[in-house]
Structure 1
Amino acid sequence: MMFGIFAMMGVLLWSSISKTFFTPTLWTLEMAQFAMVAYYVLGGPYSIQLGSNVRMDLFYGSWTDRRRAWVDAFTVLFLIFYLAILLWGGVSSTAYSLGDFSGEPFRFFADLIATFFTEGPAAAAEKLGHMERSASAWRPYLWPIKLVMVVGIVLMLLQAVSELLKDILRIRGHDI
């Protein structure tokens, strides 16, 4: 995803060129927004893995490694809680965008996957309802970007759990 910014720049460049020399296109602004969401949501876990995320270094830099690990372990618990709620909302929103209005998104996806593997893709496609579309003039389906967001949240949640486990090891005195 490091190069996703170039995809967004390409879309915005085409938007500028088409507005200047041709008929303006309707899809460019929304596509740039989708590309930025994918860039941000999928690049976040990678930046945390590399340790390149931004920290407030007012006190943090002068602390010992063990004290940093205690503070990081405490704060990452809040992140995990937040990501769990965000994941629930993302899965619910994705199920809604695929036409599920029952309010039970995990059951909807379990039934969809089971139908796909037992009865085939055609039967699974029949389980989908009226798919949500954007209110813009372009009117793209919204489930692909919502699915990208759910994948990004899951990756961020996995990375947060990894950071928590590393902090626990640092607290116990192990070198990582």
Structure 2
Amino acid sequence: MQGVMRGFIHGVDAVNYRLGRIVMYGIFVLMGVLLWSSISKTFFLPTLWTLEMAQFIMVGYYVLGGPYSMQMGDHVRMDLLYGGWSDRKKARVDLFTVLLLIFYLSVLIYGAISSTAYSLGYWKTEPISYLFGVVTGTEEIGRLEQSSSAWRPYMWPVKLVMLVGFFLMLLQCLSEFCKDVLRLKGQTI
């Protein structure tokens, strides 16, 4: 069982580490879009797409970078008490709080599945089976949702990024859960 846990930890950590290292350069893409927005507003006609594209890039940066941040321990935490605790006490508290985060992420994933299905034109009550059908080719994509802005981009790409990001965060939480279980057993990771 510990071998399976270690394999899961290493696999999830490797995926999130590599993706996080790539996504962290998205800040430069965001800076480029915002720089172009400033230049076009100052010297040319303002472009309609820049601010909404900056929002989409920021969503990807934040959501796909979250698992990397959690893996590195760089997320926000109240260290007032936590910093002075022993490793075993930290593992016990983390074990409890990661369960709460897993529940929260499960709710977010269900909402993201529904929202992604809606953006692909699904209006009924079974979004999970619909998305599975789209992936396998048994369901057709309906009328695609577009933003209400003047630019009117399709919404499914950003919603799909959110769904993938929430799922990777859930996997990272399960990895952290396994790490805490191994720490409580006195094992090294």
TM range, smaller chain? over 0.9
In the TM superposition, what whole-angstrom CA distance separates every residue of 1:103-124 from its partner, at most 9, and x where no partner exists?
21111112222326xxxxxxx6
Instruction: Confirm or deny that 1:114 pairs with 2:136.
Output: yes
SS at match of 1:59: helix
Unpaired runs of 5+ residues, structure 2, are 1-22
Greater shift, 165-174 or 68-77, is seen at 165-174
* Selected match of 1:96 from 118, 121, 138: 118
CA drift of 1:37 comes to 0.4
The one-character-per-residue Cα deviations of 1:57-92 (angstroms, maximum 9, x if unpaired) are 101111110000000000000000000000000010
- TM-score, structure 2 as length reference: 0.86
Cα distance in structure 1, aligned partners of 2:136 and 2:80? 52
Structure 1 spans left out of the alignment, 5+ residues: 117-123
What is the identity, as a one-letter code, of the residue corresponding to 2:137?
A: T
1:131 to 141, 144, 149: 144
Q: Which residue identity does 2:178 align to in structure 1?
A: L
Is 1:68 aligned to residue 81 of structure 2?
A: no
**Greater than 3 Å deviation, 4+ residue runs:** none
Q: 1:82 is matched by which residue type in structure 2?
A: Y
Q: Give, in whole Å, the separation in 2 of the partners of 1:175 and 1:155.
A: 24
Instruction: Tell me the SS of whatever aligns to 2:147.
Output: coil
For 1:161 and 1:52, the matched residues in 2 are separated by 17
Counterpart of 2:147, as a letter, is S
Structure 1 length normalisation: TM-score?
Answer: 0.92
Distance 1:115 1:42 in 2: 27
How many Å separate the matches in 2 of 1:23 and 1:172? 63
* Structure 1 residue aligned with 2:182: 169
**How many residue pairs are counted as aligned between the two chains?**
167
Residue range with higher mean Cα deviation, 104-113 or 147-156: 104-113
Q: CA RMSD in A?
A: 1.0
